[in-house]
Structure 1
Amino acid sequence: MTTESPRWYKSSYSDNGGTCVEVAANIPGVVPVRDSKAPHGPRLVFPASSWSSFVDDVKTGNLSTP
């Protein structure tokens, strides 16, 4: 368990008026995610390997949509 505080950042592609998510990549083994409009609200925490797979799928367009 780490006692380090998350260092939040938004993608450089997120220049759309603030409707984005922020992630913290400085916590070993996990990636916390939050809504940039509600920084003190709930957070989701994903295993780092799952987050990496998700990002890869977004980049390659491998996500299915309903």
Structure 2
Amino acid sequence: MDYEAVLNFIFKNTQHSVESIAEILDLDPSELLDSLNLNEKRINKLKLLSDFLRQYDLISNMDPV
């Protein structure tokens, strides 16, 4: 699952907005949406988003990102 797919999944399956997710992850909303980030930053954000999804039981701990 890529970064944009994770974001789209969250938006479709939760009541969260870009702003609320960014606040939870302690990121600026523009950082969350910036598709030109370095791969390392994107991977770190994917890990944060995966943790976020696990908190809401939207993915299991065994689902690969």
The structure carrying a bigger helix percent of its residues is: 2
**Is TM (by shorter chain) over 0.5?**
no
The structure carrying a bigger strand percent of its residues is: 1
TM-score when scaled to structure 1?
A: 0.34
Relative contact order (alpha carbons < 8 A, sep ≥ 6): 1 or 2 greater? 2
TM-score when scaled to structure 2?
A: 0.34
